[in-house]
Chains A and B, each alone.
Chain A
Amino acid sequence: MLTMTDVKKVFRTDLIETHALRDFNLQVDEGEFVAVTGPSGSGKTTFLNIAGLLETFEGGTYQLDGQNVSHLNDRQRSQLRNEKIGFIFQSFNLIPDLNLFDNVDVPLRYRGFKRNERKKRIEESLELVGLANRMKHLPSQLSGGQQQRVAIARALAGNPRFLLADEPTGNLDTKMALSVLELLKQINQQGTTIVMVTHDQHLASQAKRNIYVRDGQVSEMSGIAEPAHIEMHQAAIG
């Protein structure tokens, strides 16, 4: 699904060069739920931006869903983001002036779907996150957890192969965080590949696979998730 080979990213200012990523290698297979952790400044966010085609990189290759995306132009990368990648952000990034329906509609418009198709997808995805009855509400009228659910609905509406989550529960309290996490797991079980960036070890432990980033490199990988998550699951439902 996602293969990064020797990817490099350097930030330059007048005075210094910062190597955000160096020889970054990572392979994520279809259907995986991967958590990427690491301390602040480790290169997590840079990795996320590059994986999500939000930023370009200098060296190495990056293959997304079998396609080499190293040398795509801005337009091609926009299109690829739109079609293949769903984004979930820490601060939800809903558009405050648009109601839920219009918010979920945003990526679908760029996709060029027909009106009926968009309507169907918006309703389905809002249904999936349990907010179908609040379509005309504005984001400001929802709680943080609900807002993140809308963001997930927005990410899913276009049926992406690959979901990128950036601290998806960072702005949520524990209870809401659990329910969002549960939702992500559910989505993963239905076949969508998820890569989640977080600094929260506990949250990361819920993923099937953990990757630890330090100094711009993948330094360590841990195995399968621990059984603890089952209790969490129950807690969330309860």
Chain B
Amino acid sequence: MSSNQWEIGPIFRALMRNKVGAILIAIQIAVTMTIVVNSIFIILERAQRIERDSGIDEVNSFYLTTTGFGENFDPKSTAFNDLELIRNTPGVLDAIQINAIPVSGSGWSMSFQTEPGEEKETQGGAIYMVDEHAIDALDLEVIAGENFLPIDVRFRQPGVRDWPDNVLITKVLAESLFPDTPYQNVVGKTIYISQTEPMIVKGIVDKIQAPWVGWDDLEHTVLTPEITGFESNRYYVRAQAGQRDAIMPVIEEALASSNKQRIIRGMRTVQETRERSYRGDTAMIKILSTTMVILTIVTGLGIVGLASFSVNRRKKQIGTRRALGASQGSIVRYFMIENFLISTVGVSLGAALTVILNMLLVEMFSLNALDWYFVPAGMIVLWVVGQLAVFGPAKKAATIPPAMATRTV
């Protein structure tokens, strides 16, 4: 087949005689591309956010809160009794009392520094108050130094402001605090909390996220060895594989009946908590995906509709072309090329609009800038959509018999 048969010149000139229809489709393609590319970009970013690993055994874990009331409520004995009760429940792998739950959205953060005093460089870190069982309960690994010993763990009364002497920190925090030191060598170093209070890094744990999924320093985490005597306490329970759902009601019931001076509330699996924390992102992904798909279908159907009309209107012309020697393939090709030309204008305009919209999103909503390759990828997608959409009407056009040329309409 020679390139002469592609008829690009005549198709283009004929298109220029019917600009409005072509421009309408081109703009539709451009706007569709703009939305699709920016949506995909946002979707991928959100998906990446959601997929970040919290570092804990989410699947097998749950937690609950107990709030005591009345004069007879003794937080300290309750905490120790509760922990013993939970840990001895069959199906429980390990359990801890903890002040906040990773990825849950609420917690406690402090600033840490490597030199004491005001106006020093600080690193924020989330605090989890736990005992030596945390490593097993949270499924962490001490990759340097050592875990807490029971003797390290103190009882913290409400209103207490100071901090335990030994802490475990995450590898990421170790590297942020001591950028020039291998994390293994951070073990034994002193860091300062509340500007001047020293604490010694007893060990480095591999990874555990802070409670706030939107926080920049998501893996800046400090474990402090303490059992708290607050009115409300949380217990975090890691079940043996597959046992979680079975033991949740058992533990709730056991705790409730062991002490009537409190209420048990907010029992929830970590999976559900993650789902809630990322609900906005999940929703955004679903909404944008749906929008994108529907929009592409609308644009596709628009192309189908207009092409069908154009085929109907050009029946005689198509018959004539067939009479003059066009094969069915030539007719199909004619419409495909016509669409390709329109799409090319559309996706070129679309490339510009895509970048502009992204710039606006960056400006107004501090989104990230688009990676360049999204633009050509989007262009190809819209080209393909156009070609697929026009293929049906083009095939229909090819079935118009050559005898249409001699028919008097």
Interface set of A (CB-CB < 8 Å, partner B): 45, 48-49, 52-55, 74-75, 78-79, 81-83, 87, 89-91, 93, 95-99, 102, 105-115, 118, 138, 154, 158, 166
Contacts and interface: CB of A to CB of B under 8 A. Distances in A.
Interface stretch (B7-15, B182-190, B379-387): B7-15
Given A54-B323, A106-B324, A107-B325, A93 B13 contact: no
Contacts of A79: 325, 327
Contacts of A97: 13-14, 17-18
Interface stretch (B112-120, B166-174, B398-406): B398-406
Contacts of B10: 98, 102, 105-106, 109
B244 interface: no
B405 A111 contact: no
B16 to A, nearest CB: 9
Contact of A81 (B1, B4, B14, B324): B324
Contacts of A81: 323-325, 402
Interface string B1-38: 11011010110011001100000000000000000000
A84 to B, nearest CB: 10
Given A98-B10, A113-B4, A49 B403 contact: yes
Given A52-B323, A87-B405, 12 more contacts: A52-B406, A54-B406, A79-B325, A82-B326, A87-B324, A93-B323, A95-B317, A106-B321, A108-B4, A110-B321, A110-B324, A110-B327
Contact of B405 (A74, A93, A118): A93
A109 B401 contact: no
B406 A112 contact: no
B17 A154 contact: no
B238 interface: no
Contacts of B320: 87, 89, 93, 95
B323 A87 contact: yes
B4 A83 contact: no
B14 A82 contact: no
Contacts of B9: 102
Nearest to B330: A110
Given A54-B401, A54-B403, A55-B401, A107 B324 contact: yes
Contacts of A106: 10, 321, 324, 326
Interface of B: 1-2, 4-5, 7, 9-10, 13-14, 17-18, 316-317, 319-330, 401-403, 405-406, 408
Contact of A112 (B5, B316, B401, B403): B5
Contacts of B408: 90-91
Contacts of B323: 52, 54, 81, 87, 93
Contact of A74 (B13, B17, B327): B327
B326 A110 contact: yes
28 contacts: A45-B406, A49-B403, A49-B406, A52-B323, A54-B322, A54-B401, A54-B406, A74-B327, A75-B328, A75-B329, A78-B325, A79-B325, A81-B323, A87-B320, A93-B320, A95-B317, A96-B317, A97-B13, A98-B13, A102-B10, A105-B10, A107-B324, A109-B4, A109-B7, A110-B325, A112-B5, A118-B4, A166-B406
B403 A93 contact: no
A53 B14 CA distance: 28
A93 B409 CA distance: 12
B2 to A, nearest CB: 5
Contacts of A98: 10, 13-14
Nearest to A154: B324
Contacts of B7: 109
Listed from nearest, the 3 A-B pairs whose CB atoms lie closest are A82-B325, A97-B14, A107-B324
Nearest to A92: B320
A31 B323 CA distance: 22
Nearest to B318: A95
Contacts of B401: 54-55
Contacts of A93: 316-317, 319-320, 323, 405
A75 B327 contact: yes
Contact of B5 (A99, A102, A109): A109
Contacts of B317: 93, 95-96
